[in-house]
């Protein structure tokens, strides 16, 4: 079974500053990794995903994430945040061997961008 840990429940950051949201996962099998974003009172949107190949994955809205197999981490980064990035961010994992996405989500990190 897989599990996901997001080390920071809340991250405040000033506008135009860089940010890193941390994610670690646990799995005995090969995995796919995802980051989703949830804006207030909305559903979740896929931000980016790691399937295989290059460990640096670029997503929408200027976000990127790096897969580190040895540290079982998939941290999300953005070099300069905007007020509009204020949202809840969820790291997620699924078993790469199954034929469908049965995704396990982390508890979420609330990013607050301060003007």
Partner 1 sequence: NAGVTQTPKFRVLKTGQSMTLLCAQDMNHEYMYWYRQDPGMGLRLIHYSVGEGTTAKGEVPDGYNVSRLKKQNFLLGLESAAPSQTSVYFCASSSDRPYGYTFGSGTRLTVV
Rounded to whole angstroms, how far apart are CA atoms 78 and 16?
Answer: 10
Segment 19 to 38, residues that bind partner 1, using CB under 8 A: 32, 34, 36
Nearer to partner 1, 73 or 90 (CB): 90
Q: Among 21, 57, 104, 111, which residue sits at the site for partner 1 (rule: CB under 8 A)?
A: 104
- Minimum distance from residue 15 beta carbon to partner 1 (Å): 26
Rounded to 10 degrees, what is the CA torsion of 104, 100, 57, 90? -20
Q: How many residues bind partner 1 (CB under 8 A)?
A: 25
Residues 43-82 vs partner 1: string with x where CB under 8 A?
A: xxxx--x-x-------------------------------
Give per-residue burial for 13-46: e unless 16+ CB within 10 Å, then b.
beeeeebebbbbbebeeebbbbbbbeeeeeebee
Footprint of partner 1 on this chain (CB under 8 A)? Answer: 4, 9, 32, 34, 36, 42-46, 49, 51, 90, 94, 96, 99-108
């Amino acid at each position: 079974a897989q599990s996901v840990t997001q080390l920071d429940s809340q991250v405040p950051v000033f506008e135009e500053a860089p940010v890193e949201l941390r994610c670690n996962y646990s799995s005995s099998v090969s995995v796919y990794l995802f980051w989703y974003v949830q804006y207030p009172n909305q559903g979740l949107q896929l931000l980016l995903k790691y399937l295989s190949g290059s460990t640096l994955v670029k997503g929408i809205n200027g976000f990127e994430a790096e897969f580190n197999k040895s540290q079982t981490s998939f941290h999300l980064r953005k070099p300069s945040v905007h007020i509009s990035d204020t949202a809840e961010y969820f790291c997620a994992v699924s078993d790469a061997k199954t034929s469908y996405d049965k995704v396990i989500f982390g508890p979420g990190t609330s990013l607050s961008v301060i003007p």
